[in-house]
Amino acid sequence: MKKPETVRRPKWEGILWLGVGGIGGFVLLGGIGGFLGGLLGLIFIESAEPGAGLVDGVRNGFTFCGTAGAIAGIVWSRGRGFNPQTMRKLKRFHSIKRGYWSFLILGAAFAISLVGPLVVGSRALVVIHDGKLHLPALPFSAKNSGQDFGLAQDKDEQEYTYEVDYRELKAHFEDTGKGFMLMPFIPYNPNENDFREGVTHPASPNWQQRHLLGTDRTGRDVLARLFYGFRITMLFALVFALMVYLIGVVVGCVMGYFGGWTDLLGQRAVEVWQNIPFLYMVIIIVAAVSDLPFNLPIWFRISILLSIMVLFSWTSMTYYMRTSVFREKARDYVAAAQLLGAGPSRIIFNHLLPNTISTLVTFLPFTVAMAITSITALDYLNFGLPKPTPSWGELLQQGVANLQAPWIVLSAFVAMVTVLTLVTFIGEAIREAFDPKKFTTYE
Amino acid sequence: MKRMIWKSHLLLGTLLLLAQGCNKKELKRPEGAGSPSNQNQSPISMDEEEVRKLARVFAQELAAELARQGTSLATTTNEDKGTLASPALRLNSAPEVLDFYNSNPEHFTITNPSNLPENLKWESGADLEEFASPNAKRGGTFMEYMPDFPRTLRLLGPDGNGSFRSYILDYNAVSLVDTHPENDGYYPGLAKEWAVDKSNNTVYFRLDPEAKYSDGNPVKATDYFFCLYFMRSPHIQAPWYNDFYSTEKYPNITIFDEHTISITYYKSKPDLLEKCAAIRPIPEHFYKELDEQWVEDYQFEFEPTTGPYEVLKENVRKGESITLTRVPNWWADKKRFFRYRYNPDAIKVTVVRELAKVFELFTKGELDWHGLGLPEFWYDKLPDEHPLVANGHVEKLQFYNDVPRPTWALRLNSSHPILSNKDIRLGLNHAMNFEVVINEVFRGDYDRMRSVADGYGPRSHPKIRAREFSVEKAREYFALAGYTNTGEDGILQTPEGKRLSFSFSTGYKRLEDVMTVLKEEARKAGVDLQIEMLESTSAFKKVSEKKHEIHLVALNVSVEMYPRFWEPYHSDNAYKEPKEERYDEQGHLRSGLTPKPVTNNFTLLADKEVDDLIEKYRVSEDLGEITDLSHKLIEKIHDYGAYIPGWVRPWYRVGQWRWVKYPKGYNVKESREPFEFHIHWIDTEEKKRILDNVASGQKSGEPAINIFDQHKLD
């Protein structure tokens, strides 16, 4: 192996590694921790409400183990680098403009969506009232009721003891001149119903009211739902892809490396598992969850859905890993490592994995695309994300059911096509970049 | 990887399949109809039948022997002996059924016509007018849909009261006597004549000798006996029926001859005739076995009906559709009040799971009608300018009816540890903003429901109104229950950090908007509602097994003189434990009781005082007292706060293709649904003409938007 000093290392390489290590460790250990935490919580945490132990256990397990995993991942990845071949491939990816730009656009959109409430949200960014500064859009900031800002009653003459509607407050400030406020660009959150006098919903796009893509049947802003739908879909798809790869790679490597009975039995087990109909399992489990004697918070229900999808999707990864490990393990460097006394785990993770992973990387974008379509389809069928989580499937469903309001279906459709196209461009570029036959082109 | 992509394709494929359609229009004709259907039985069931016959012969001999000895004997009294020669009266029942009759001799009496009381005033509804139109034409297939395939074809037992039952029982079977849907009278059904004897709580019926079941067997007087045997059996797993038809309620049925019976009710209620006419003949010859297996054995067996439409095995496509066909030479075809009704040759009910697709199928002409009750349909999807309406292919109708209203309301499960607290329940009453739902989602077309029993005239409470939405009051009540802190997400908490959060479920996909608006509004009052949208059948299962917390559902109510309180509010239907174990010495509900499944007490209201009032109400014979008790009960239930009234709709709105014809005035006053009384008909030639016009882009006539408000109340 070449020594690291011989290659000039760009900064992004280190950052990429830290990212990979951190996120990978977080998801892997977080997943395991969540599962164990759930079991422990169910048994040991005594709580006032039934089921709360389970939920707490999962949450704590996930947070603690995930953090530990992220730290471990970062430590592990510090100072690591790609081997020169991979570096060449990455540089080639950079040179494929279409894929590279798609990557940047999608990455930027995703990054923006992660700080969503600053762009799309009902909470003001800055409020100055009575000489005090409030930053309600930030997490953990104090949530002030209408009365805190001197509004005794809301527009329906209800006592203003709940969190103030900042749009209403802004109008109040403009009337009285007592205070200053800066709202996000789209001043709506994805769940609130914007009912106004004389407007029937779905209402068409309206710049004055800042409903840039109109509203849906219950007066929710379509753009806000689209935006947060994008965030949840992307998060879902990425975590899904990571989990599927982690499980698939480990199982595939083990089968390939040990071969023989392990491989034979493992393969049969995978085949059996694969033949369990996925959609029915989702339907059954969704029904079972609704029959539980206690309520699960929305994030927990989403995690259940994610786990089911992962459980029934990791199998296909094992085939690719298994075959490439079969091929690689016959090579001399593996024999050399074995002679030097390296154990199986060292050989698998340090020697085989770096040499086989490139095939898998090329699949990644397509897995993400698959996850996006699956979750949208499930949503459309009412088995997806719990209501009223903003989701594209739900928007499509509403849009199809309300063709007289084309802005709903068009928004969802265009967004979906754009994202899937970008992902496909990235995927093609990666495939080209990682292709051992350098001269293949995809046009 | 291919497999993964394939999987996502599978999902999309499923979507496409759903988006396709029910395009199978062919229809199987009844085979060998009209003859008793014992021909196609397997050899095994033949053997069973043989055994059964032997057993019956034995039982008859035994009964005769007992009779000779003059011991416990219901079937004959000493002086009647020998007059019971007619076959309808020979109790061809299975031994266990005979035993049942014999062990309850005072409840099942066979005597002779000379024992009929004199001076009975026989009525036959002859002075009432028919409500169907003589212009009606026979023929055609009426196309309807259902959102889910029925879980059973049984008429009762688990899942038996699903919405499909109305096709095969409620809107189909003929009763002894029916209430006239336009005025106060009654018209004859299975009984040609009837005589009410108020002093003895008894109604006498002269049965129509022509009455037959759809399998060709005649309706026998003994089938009314069998009804009670059947309804009282634990094997039907239907506690509501067990009670409704209990010995206490129906202490006696007497057969005078094969076409004369009397039914006695336990109280001389103001609507005694209706109560007695609720006994329907159950075809004894059809139910071979009534044991623990009954629920499974008869899951998809269609009970022969006295009504005009039957379900033949070959017309049931599991998961897809059920087609009801007209019984050939139906016995009541030419009778007054039944002629000119039930005009289509068949009714095809197709499963369409996707609500959006239902409307598309309707606009394609594959469904004959579509409800326009929701404002989005009336105003947006089928506006007056819609080409189908403007070109006169489809007609829009609004019909004001005058009936008790379905109870669209939220049911709080008061056995839930937090919802058992009255303050929480009252807080939730004030946290539900139905005003904004009615104004925004329903565009002001509906009215707020007032109480648990609206539309019963003087029996409804004159003053009680649903609690209004009020953040202030809701928060006050929640504070009383200890929810004093506000969490980071704006939801109220106890100082220990317990959030005020509930599951909020429904089985009506089309009401998703109502659910989301209520959820968002409730946040203002500091309540978190977790929406669960379920399939209609699983939602009903959930709520009838009492696994819900807050559930939005409507129960259809019968057109009756006074509301029913026992089934939805008596503790008998809330908890399994016997009554004396439900309450402690002070009359408070004990904790740790087991909710009772398969009953309609969705609020799990259990209150000793309410129980006592309901019991008094049930036995009361005086209309004035009934009215008083009804008001008291409505108040009590209102105070308890587990029922949050939703909305009522004093009309129904329909879009229907112009080939669906109707009598003048559209429908009868007491119709709850447009096709309940089957007085419409299909003009098949018109259908062809209209569909041709649609295809060629021609008009079929002038646009028709008709509002029938002859029965509108102010």
pLDDT of amino acid B301: 92
DSSP letters spanning B148-161: S--S---SSSTTTT
Question: Worst-scoring range by mean pLDDT, A121-135, A410-424, B26-40, B287-301?
Answer: B26-40
pLDDT of residue B57: 60
Quick check: B10 and A201 CB within 8 A? no
Statement: A222-433 belongs to CATH 3.40.190.10 = no
Whether the predicted pLDDT of B83 surpasses 50 = no
Helix (H, G, I), strand (E, B) or coil at B536: helix
Contact A316 B502 (CB under 8 A): no
What value does the mean pLDDT take over residues B706-710?
Answer: 90
Instruction: Please name the residue that has the structure tokens 């996707």.
Output: B354
Residue B111 has pLDDT above 60, yes or no: yes
Confidence band, pLDDT 50/70/90 cuts, at residue B81: very low
B345 pLDDT band, cuts 50/70/90, is very high
- B32 by Cβ neighbours in 10 Å (0-12 / 13-18 / 19+) ranks as exposed
B625 phi and psi, to 5 degrees?
-65, -40
Nearest-CA distance A245 → chain B (Å): 11
CB contacts under 8 A, A 376-395 vs B, are 377-378, 380-382, 386-388
Helix (H), strand (E), coil (C) string for B629-646: HHHHHHHHHHHHCCEEEC
- In this structure, the number of other CB atoms found within 10 A of the CB of residue B637 comes to 24
Residues in chain A within 8 Å Cβ distance of B531? 386-388
Domain C-terminal end among B271, B287, B317? B317
What's the CA gap between B359 and B645, in Å, rounded? 29
d(CA B182, CA B426): 40
Residue B507 lies in a domain: yes
Residue B457 lies in a domain: yes
Spatial distance between the Cα atoms of B694 and A43, rounded to a whole number of angstroms: 66
Question: Cα–Cα distance between B469 and B433 in angstroms, integer?
Answer: 5
Would you state the pLDDT for residue B557?
78
The residues with which B317 forms a beta bridge, in sequence order, are B321
Confidence of residue B77 (pLDDT cuts 50, 70, 90): very low
**Shortest Cα distance from A336 to chain B (angstroms)?**
32
Among B262, B303, B290, smallest CA distance to B97 is for B290
Give the bridge partners for B260, in sequence order: B206, B257
Q: Output the pLDDT for position A106.
A: 93
| pLDDT exceeds cutoff 70 at B93 | yes
Question: Which residues fall within 8 angstroms of residue B468, CB to CB, at 6 or more apart?
Answer: B430, B435
On whether both B663 and B615 belong to a single domain, the answer is no
DSSP B390-407: HTTSEEEEEEE--SPPP-
Average pLDDT of the segment spanning B636-652: 92
Structural domain includes residue B686: yes
End position of a domain, from candidates B607, B627, B648? B648
Is it the case that residue B45 has pLDDT exceeding 80?
Answer: no
Inter-chain CB proximity A192 and B520 less than 8 Å: yes
Give the number of domains in chain B: 3
Answer yes or no: is B4 within a domain.
no
Please give the DSSP secondary-structure letter assigned to residue B593.
P
pLDDT per residue as tens digits for the range B151-191: 899 998 888 888 899 999 999 999 999 989 888 789 999 99
pLDDT digits (tens, 9 = 90+) for B355-377: 788 999 999 999 999 999 888 88
Interface of B with A in 534-593 (CB under 8 A): 534, 538, 542, 547, 549
Whether the CB of A315 is below 8 Å from some CB of chain B: the reply is: yes
The answer on B284 and B421 residing in a single domain is: no
> By CA distance, what is B359's nearest residue in A?
A401
Same domain, yes or no: B671 and B532: no
Q: What distance in Å separates residue B636's CA from the closest CA in chain A?
A: 28
Q: Average pLDDT of A382-403?
A: 86
Answer yes or no: do B686 and B583 share one domain. no
Cβ contacts of residue A133 below 8 Å, gap of 6+? A126, A127
Q: Report the pLDDT averaged over residues B261-267.
A: 91
Count of beta carbons in the 10 Å neighbourhood of residue B61 = 10
**pLDDT per position as a tens digit, B517-565:** 999 999 999 999 999 888 887 888 888 888 899 999 988 777 777 888 9
CATH number of the CATH domain containing B507 = 3.10.105.10
Among B5, B513, B525, select the one facing A366 at the smallest CB separation: B5
Token pair for A87: 């570096």
Is the bond preceding B36 in cis, omega lying within 30 degrees of 0?
A: no
Query: Is the pLDDT score of B348 beyond 80?
Result: yes
pLDDT over 80 at B661, yes or no: yes
B496 lies within 8 A of chain A by CB: yes
Residues B524 and B540 in one domain: yes
Cβ-defined contact of A401 to B356 (cutoff 8 Å): yes
Whether B78 has a pLDDT exceeding 60, the answer reads: no
**Residue-level pLDDT at B213:** 95
Residues B465 and B597 in one domain: yes
Is the CB of residue A404 less than 8 Å away from at least one CB of chain B? Answer: yes
Residues A32-79 pLDDT 10s: 888 888 888 777 766 656 667 788 888 888 888 888 888 888 888 877
Burial of B570 (0-12, 13-18, 19+ CB in 10 A): buried
Among B2, B9, B11, pick the best mutation site for testing chain A contact (most A Cβ within 10 A): B11
Which CATH number is B162's domain given?
3.40.190.10
Nearest 5°: phi and psi at B150?
-60, 145
In a domain, B599, yes or no: yes
**pLDDT (0 to 100) of residue B714:** 58
Tell me: pLDDT of A415 over 80: yes
Q: How buried is B268 (Cβ within 10 angstroms: 0-12 exposed, 13-18 middle, 19+ buried)?
A: middle
Residue B197 and residue B259 in one domain = yes
- Do B435 and B392 have their domain in common? no
Burial environment of residue A13 by CB neighbours within 10 A (0 to 12, 13 to 18, 19 or more): middle
Percent of chain A topping pLDDT 70: 94
pLDDT band at A111 (very low <50, low <70, confident <90, very high): very high
**Chain B residues 422-451 with a CB less than 8 Å from chain A:** 436, 439-441, 443
Containing structural domain, residue B150? 115-317
Q: Are B648 and B465 in contact (CB under 8 A)?
A: no
A154 close to A207: Cβ distance less than 8 angstroms: no
Q: Which residue's entry shows tokens 């008859």?
A: B60
- Chain A nearest-CA distance from B366, in A, is 18
In this complex, which of B14, B533, B549 lies closest to A279 when CB atoms are compared?
B14
pLDDT in the model for residue B437: 93
Choice between A363 and A51, residue whose per-residue pLDDT is larger: A363
**CB contact set of B353 (below 8 Å; sequence gap of 6+):** B18, B147, B148
Search chain B and give the residue with CA nearest A48.
Answer: B498
Q: Locate B318 and state its tokens.
A: 């599991």
Kindly tell me if the per-residue pLDDT of A9 is higher than 70. no
Contact B4 A313 (CB under 8 A): yes
For chain B, what is the mean pLDDT?
A: 84
Task: Report whether pLDDT(A305) > 70.
Answer: yes
Confidence of residue B26 (pLDDT cuts 50, 70, 90): very low
The pair phi, psi for residue A358, each rounded to 5°, is: -60, -35
DSSP string, B241-286: HHHHT-TTT--EEEEEETTEEEEE-SS--TTHHHHHHT-----TTT
CA distance B471 to chain A (A): 6
Residue A57 confidence (pLDDT): 83
Is residue A439 predicted with pLDDT exceeding 60?
no
pLDDT of residue A333 exceeding 80:
yes
* B62 confidence band (pLDDT: 50, 70, 90): low
Percent of chain B with pLDDT over 70: 87
3-state secondary structure chain A: CCCHHHCCCCHHHHHHHHHHHHHHHHHHHHHHHHHHHHHHHHHHCCCCCCCHHHHHHHHHHHHHHHHHHHHHHHHHHCCCCCCHHHHHHHHHHHHCHHHHHHHHHHHHHHHHHHCHHHCECCCCCEEEECCEEECCCCCCCCCCEHHHHCCCECCCCCECCCECCHHHHHHHHHHHCCCEEECCCECCCCCCCCCCCCCCCCCCCECCCCECCCECCCCCEHHHHHHHHHHHHHHHHHHHHHHHHHHHHHHHHHHHHHCHHHHHHHHHHHHHHHCCCHHHHHHHHHHHHHCCCCCCCHHHHHHHHHHHHHHCCCHHHHHHHHHHHHHHHCCHHHHHHHHCCCCHHHHHHHHHHHHHHHHHHHHHHHHHHHHHHHHHHHHHCCCCCCCCCCCHHHHHHHHHHCCCCHHHHHHHHHHHHHHHHHHHHHHHHHHHHCCCCCCCCCC
Q: Is B676's pLDDT higher than 80? A: yes
- pLDDT, chain A, mean: 84
Q: What does the pLDDT read at residue B66?
A: 52
In chain A, residues 191-210 whose CB comes closer than 8 Å to chain B: 191-193, 195, 200-201
Q: Looking at the domain assignment, is residue B107 inside a domain?
A: no
Summarize the confidence of residues B456-482 as an average pLDDT: 91
The pLDDT value given to residue B504 = 92
**Side-chain half-sphere of B581: how many Cα atoms within 13 Å?**
8
C-alpha span between A152 and B471 (Å, rounded) = 12
Among B269, B296, B317, the domain-final residue is B317
Every domain of chain A and the residues it spans: 1-81, 126-182, 222-433
Kindly give, in sequence order, each residue whose CB lies less than 8 Å from that of residue B113, ignoring residues fewer than 6 positions away.
B256, B257, B260
Per-residue pLDDT for B25 more than 90? no
Least confident of A347-361, B66-80, B107-121, B216-230: B66-80
**CA pair distance B256, B114, nearest whole angstrom:** 8
Q: Are residue B515 and residue B588 in the same domain, yes or no?
A: yes
Per-residue confidence (pLDDT) for residue B613, from 0 to 100: 93
What are residue B400's DSSP bridge partners?
B651
If pLDDT is split at 50, 70 and 90, which confidence band does B429 have?
A: very high
Structure confidence at residue B454 as a pLDDT band (50, 70, 90): confident
pLDDT at B545: 87
Same-domain check for residues B167 and B253: yes
B512–A374: do the CB atoms touch at under 8 Å? no
Q: Tell me the per-residue pLDDT of A199-252, one tens digit each, with 9 for 90 and over.
A: 888 888 888 888 999 999 888 999 999 999 999 999 999 989 988 988 888 899
The answer on B186 and B176 residing in a single domain is: yes
**Could you write out the DSSP letters of every residue in B454-470?**
-S-GGGS-SS--PPPP-
Same domain as B660, residue B644: no
For A:102-161, CB contacts with B below 8 A are 140, 143, 154, 156, 158-161
